[in-house]
Amino acid sequence: MEFTTQKIAENLWALDQKGVRSFFLVGQDNAVLVDTCFGGDILSVCRTLTDNPITLITTHSDGDHCGCDAQFTEQYMHPAEFARYESRGKGACKAKPISEGDVFNVGEYTLEVVVIPGHTPGSIALLDRQHKFLISGDTVQSGCIFMHGDGRDLPSFRESIIKLDAMRREGLFDTVYPAHGDAIVPADILEDHLALADEVLSGTAVPAGPAPEWFPDTVKTYRRGRAQMYYAVK
Ligand SMILES: [Zn+2]
């Protein structure tokens, strides 16, 4: 499976594969990879950019974010993902636990863990306060968020969106780097995510269309502004 490499900021690359995206940050002596896409040889792609040792940080345990994990020896993940990771046939989880406020330094970047359950139980984002960006995994994106299936929890997702939107309003970040959809998204998309979650949870949302055929018929596509999700109203 092929990757395309796009430099989106100094020492920061987006590695795209079939609709999913990892981020790679390179410092003087180390490097950080955020997620590993579906599979293939992401390590070789990283090695075209640096020979530094690589720390892997996993935003959550969905298969499109963990496909090349075996190529890395040092991995971090929120412990609320461990059981789910192992249940998805990835074998024993070798990741070390991370929690709210943990910090990873890589070159000019300081990545701070923000815990945002909902899309999955231990989803995390990474905040750089100085450069005012958030690497968001699947939780904030212009693509369609999967909120149907194992581990999804829409009320928790809504709480996480409220938490992130408060941080945005404080001025902690203005740009989002998501794993799907556009690689660079203005942070005020959070307003659309919150409005959509409110509408869907209150039962007032009208489906914008069906979901892809691999979902049960009850799952629909919901849209509000730039935000979209697949969800089955109970
Ligand atoms: Zn994903």
pTM of the predicted structure, to 2 decimals: 0.97
Q: Which residues contact 45 (CB under 8 A, 6 or more apart)?
A: 3, 5, 15
User: Residue ranges of the chain with pLDDT lower than 50?
Assistant: none
Domain containing residue 134: CATH number: 3.60.15.10
The rounded distance, in Å, linking the Cα atoms of 45 and 31 is 13
Q: Is residue 228 part of a domain?
A: no
Q: Is residue 58 part of a domain?
A: yes
Q: Is residue 71 part of a domain?
A: yes
* 34 Cα–ligand 1 center, Å: 12
pLDDT tens track for 44-82: 999 999 999 999 999 999 999 999 999 999 999 999 999
Q: Is residue 57 part of a domain?
A: yes
* 121 Cα–ligand 1 center, Å: 14
* 198 Cα–ligand 1 center, Å: 22
Domains held by the chain: number? 1
And the tokens for 75? 């991995």
Q: Is residue 211 part of a domain?
A: no
Q: Is residue 138 part of a domain?
A: yes
Q: Is residue 88 part of a domain?
A: yes
Domain that holds residue 82: 4-143+154-188
* 180 Cα–ligand 1 center, Å: 7
* 98 Cα–ligand 1 center, Å: 20
* 64 Cα–ligand 1 center, Å: 5
Predicted local confidence at residue 182, as pLDDT: 98
Q: Is residue 72 part of a domain?
A: yes
Find out whether 112 and 127 touch, Cβ atoms under 8 Å.
Answer: yes
Predicted local confidence at residue 32, as pLDDT: 99
